Amino acid sequence: MNNNGKANTDKHKVKALVLFSGGLDSLIALKLIKDSGIELLALNFVSPFCRCNRSDGCSAVMQLKNLDVEFKLIRLAEEYLEIVKKPKFGYGSNMNPCIDCRVLMFKKAKAVMQEVGASFLITGEVLGQRPMSQQKRQFGLIEKEAEVEGLVFRPLSAKLLPQTLAEKEGWLKDNVLLNLSGRIRSPQIKMAKELGVNDYPCPSGGCLLTDIGFSRRLRDLIKHSRFTLDEVELLKIGRHFRLNDKLKLIVGRDEKENNRLLDIAQKRYACFIPCDVKGPVAIASGLNGEVELDQLCVSIVARYCDRNKEAKVKVEKRNIVKGGSVITAEVPASEELIEKFRI
Ligand code: SF4
């Protein structure tokens, strides 16, 4: 598409954008089209809820480098939080606002199309594979909302879907039009072998919004706290406990998380560190100085310390403003108490 919004119709210069997640389906779509001679630019979207949220992009980027495909990383940030908080088209089975999410991605892709003079979009979506966003009606709705109607070519299900601009213009070879549908993966795995694709490390489930436990923590965050990118990052580490409307405790699960929580505590959190035994670091937000609440936090920390069954545990409470004090957990929290407060 050029800057006037018109498709580039010179066959020798046809360029397309492929929305590339790193999953098997988008990898097959990319390989099919690349091998048919269309000039490609891959777009990899990184949301605050990607599981592999590395600063240099996820494993998808490694794959693109290996495939020698030009690519562009697009980071979704605050505007993405807005759609997660209040999606126009609602949530899937967890906190995944898939329709709004796809609309946002296609809108961003359309802007890139205009920038680089691409004529159409390609995705690895398979008809019927996902209940919320990969049905025929939803494909149409998403394209309409994003104003890319007729421009999205989905090679894996192309024979089952209405013709798109790329097919009408004859830019594609027949062998890139497939008829896959549903959730069965075996045809894709077979095709991957035929196309020489052996490594697809981030196949699906790369989005934390589809995770039931993460969604529970996210709902709790939206209800009780500021919904910011920093707070979302915190949801990815530790065990989370909601002790009252204001007070939340996060307990580290390993050394890496403990070190991270110690760093975070420098900013605005109180933290708890076991004194003479091995155990987790915990951070708390919303403490108000009440002794009972300090004791409750300490008893939860004690529950995860290496201790003899009956031993009391001393835990240091550090506060960046008020300094430190040592509190003794007479009795570590019971399983019942843990379950009562766990988010
Ligand atoms: S699973 Fe996550 S990344 Fe994928 S469409 Fe849904 S919300 Fe977006």
Structure confidence at residue 309 as a pLDDT band (50, 70, 90): low
Q: What is the pLDDT of residues 226-258, one digit of tens each?
A: 999 999 999 999 999 999 999 999 999 999 999
Alpha carbon distances (Å) from 171 to 71, 112, 299: 21, 20, 66
Residues 48, 232 contacting (CB under 8 angstroms): yes
Predicted local distance difference test score (pLDDT) of residue 216: 98
Structure confidence at residue 292 as a pLDDT band (50, 70, 90): very high
Alpha carbon distances (Å) from 306 to 233, 251, 278, 301, 309: 28, 14, 5, 11, 9
- Please tell me the distance between residue 141's alpha carbon and the centre of ligand 1 in angstroms: 16
Tell me the angle at which helices 98-116 and 78-85 cross, rounded to the nearest 10 degrees. Answer: 150
Residues 176, 154 contacting (CB under 8 angstroms): no
Residue 209 Cβ contacting ligand 1 at under 6 Å: yes
Give the residue-averaged pLDDT of 65-73: 90
Q: Which CATH superfamily is domain 11-208 in?
A: HUPs (3.40.50.620)
- Please tell me the distance between residue 209's alpha carbon and the centre of ligand 1 in angstroms: 7
Structure confidence at residue 67 as a pLDDT band (50, 70, 90): confident
Q: What is the pLDDT of residues 272-287, one digit of tens each?
A: 999 989 999 999 999 9
Nearest alpha carbon, ligand 1 atom 1: 207
Q: Which two tokens stand for residue 72?
A: 């562009």
Give the whole-angstrom CA distance, residue 306 versus residue 189: 45
Q: Which residues of 139-173 are buried (b: 16+ CB within 10 A; e: fewer)?
A: bebbbebbebeebbbbbbbbebbeebbbbeeebbe
- Please tell me the distance between residue 111's alpha carbon and the centre of ligand 1 in angstroms: 20
Give the residue-averaged pLDDT of 55-68: 74
Residue 34 Cβ contacting ligand 1 at under 6 Å: no
As a whole number of Å, the end-to-end CA separation of the chain is: 47
Nearest alpha carbon, ligand 1 atom 2: 207
Q: Which two tokens stand for residue 79?
A: 């505007």
Give the residue-averaged pLDDT of 103-113: 98
Strand segments, DSSP code E, in 20-147 are: 39-46, 71-75, 120-122
Residue 99 Cβ contacting ligand 1 at under 6 Å: no
pLDDT at 109 over 80: yes
Give the residue-averaged pLDDT of 117-134: 94
The β-bridge partners of 324 are 318
Structure confidence at residue 37 as a pLDDT band (50, 70, 90): confident
Residue 210 Cβ contacting ligand 1 at under 6 Å: yes
Residues 25, 154 contacting (CB under 8 angstroms): no
Residue 215 Cβ contacting ligand 1 at under 6 Å: no
Strands in 15-19's sheet, in edge-to-edge order, are 71-75, 39-46, 15-19, 120-122, 152-153
Residue 44 Cβ contacting ligand 1 at under 6 Å: no
pLDDT at 53 over 70: no
Residues 6+ apart with CB under 8 A from 168: none
Residues 294, 287 contacting (CB under 8 angstroms): yes
Structure confidence at residue 203 as a pLDDT band (50, 70, 90): very low
Q: Which amino acid is at 30?
A: L
Give the whole-angstrom CA distance, residue 251 versus residue 254: 9
Give the whole-angstrom CA distance, residue 107 versus residue 207: 20
Structural domain boundaries in the chain: 11-208, 237-341
Q: What is the pLDDT of residues 137-169, one digit of tens each?
A: 999 999 999 999 999 999 999 999 999 999 999
Give the whole-angstrom CA distance, residue 124 versus residue 143: 15
- Which numbered atom of ligand 1 lies nearest the CA of 97? 7
- Please tell me the distance between residue 39's alpha carbon and the centre of ligand 1 in angstroms: 27
Ligand 1, pocket-test mutation among 210, 212, 214, 215, most atoms within 8 A of CB = 210
- Please tell me the distance between residue 105's alpha carbon and the centre of ligand 1 in angstroms: 10
The β-bridge partners of 315 are 274, 327
Give the whole-angstrom CA distance, residue 70 versus residue 323: 52
Ligand 1, pocket-test mutation among 207, 208, 215, 218, most atoms within 8 A of CB = 207
- Which numbered atom of ligand 1 lies nearest the CA of 102? 5
pLDDT at 11 over 60: no
Give the whole-angstrom CA distance, residue 176 versus residue 84: 35
Give the whole-angstrom CA distance, residue 177 versus residue 42: 19
- Please tell me the distance between residue 308's alpha carbon and the centre of ligand 1 in angstroms: 45
pLDDT at 100 over 60: yes
Structure confidence at residue 116 as a pLDDT band (50, 70, 90): very high
